[in-house]
Amino acid sequence: MLPVKSVPRPLTADYVKAIAKYGPRGQRNGLFLVPDILRGLARDNEGRECLKLYDWVAFGGSPLDFETGDAITAMGVRVQSFIGSTDTGLYNILLNDPQDWNMHRFLENNHGFYLSHYHDDLYELAVKRQPDDPRPPFLIDPTADVFYTRDLWRAAPGREGFWMNAGRVDDFVKLSTLTKFNAIAIEQKIEANAIVAKCVIAGDSRKKPFILVEPSAEARPPGILPRPQIPHLPSYNQRTLPRLQKRQNAAGDFFLLV
C-alpha cells in the first residue's frame, strides 16, 4: 500500500471535514481520532455536521474533555474511549449508556488486565502475562510477568463498578512541596475555551506551577501578528487570565506567552 501524499501530517480537523463528503451516504461505522481533532470538529457548524455523519467516534492517546464529549453525545453520536490499548491491544468492557462515555466498566478475568493501586485514589491499568501471551510487551521482554500501561483510572463517585480515566503517570507535575496534580487534565479544561489555541502547564520541582498559553485569534487584538507580541502580553493577560482561572484548579502564578 502506497501512502497518500495529499494527507496532511499530522491529520487536521479541516482535512476530516473536507473528505467527509466523499464517504458513503447513510449509516457508517465511525471515526477514530485524537482528542485535539475532535475538539476542533465540535467547535464549528461544519465540523459538527461532519460528526453527525457517523454512528460513533472514538478517541485515544489522551483523555477527552467533558465539554467536547458531552457536545458530541448530544448530537446522537456515541463517544468511545480506546485509552490504554496501544501497547497491549483492546481490553473487554461492558457497554455503557451514551451519556456515560467518559467511564469504563471492566470485566473480571479480562485476559490478565487489572487495576493496580498507584497513589491516593488513583489506579494504574496493568496486565499480567497469560499462557503463550502474544502481546508486544511480553514478546519484547520475555522475562516480564506484568506490564504497567501508565494509564490511570479513578472510581466514579457514587457509581459502583464505573471507572473514569485520570490521565497518565507521566501527566503529573510534582512540586517542591511534594504536591502532585494532573497537568493534562487542567490543560484540556483550559483548551476547551474558544479563546485558547494551546496551553502547557509545568512546574516540576518548583514551589508553584506555571502555565504558557497561546491565545486563539479571538483573543488577539485586531491587526496584531502572532509574533512578536511581547508588548501586548499585559493586555492579553488582563482580558484572558480571569476567564482561564475560572476553569482550572491548580494554584500558582500564571504567565501568558505566545
pLDDT of residue 248: 46
Q: List the one residue out of 64, 74, 115, 72 whose CA is nearest residue 93.
A: 115
pLDDT of 237: 63
Question: Residue ranges per domain, the chain?
Answer: 1-82, 175-245
CA dihedral sign of residues 69, 71, 72, 75: positive
- Candidates 149, 152, 139, 165; CA nearest to 86 is 149
Show the cell assigned to 150: 501508565
Q: Which grid cell is 93?
A: 468492557
Using a cut of 0.85, tell me whether the model's pTM lies above it. no
For the chain, the 3-state helix, strand and coil shares in percent, each to the nearest 5, are 30, 25, 45
Give pLDDT, residue 228. 53
Q: For the chain, how many residues are written? A: 258
pLDDT of 141 reads 95
Please tell me the predicted confidence (pLDDT) of residue 147: 96
Characterize the bridge pairing of strands 113-119 and 122-128.
Answer: antiparallel
d(CA 99, CA 143): 41
Q: At residue 226, what are phi and psi to the nearest 5 degrees?
A: -55, -35
pLDDT of residue 185: 77
Domain 1-82, CATH class in plain words: alpha beta
What residues have CB less than 8 Å from 75, skipping those under 6 apart? 48, 51, 52
Q: 10-residue block means of pLDDT along the chain (258 residues)?
A: 62 87 69 90 91 90 88 94 84 89 87 90 93 93 94 92 87 81 82 83 86 78 54 62 53 44
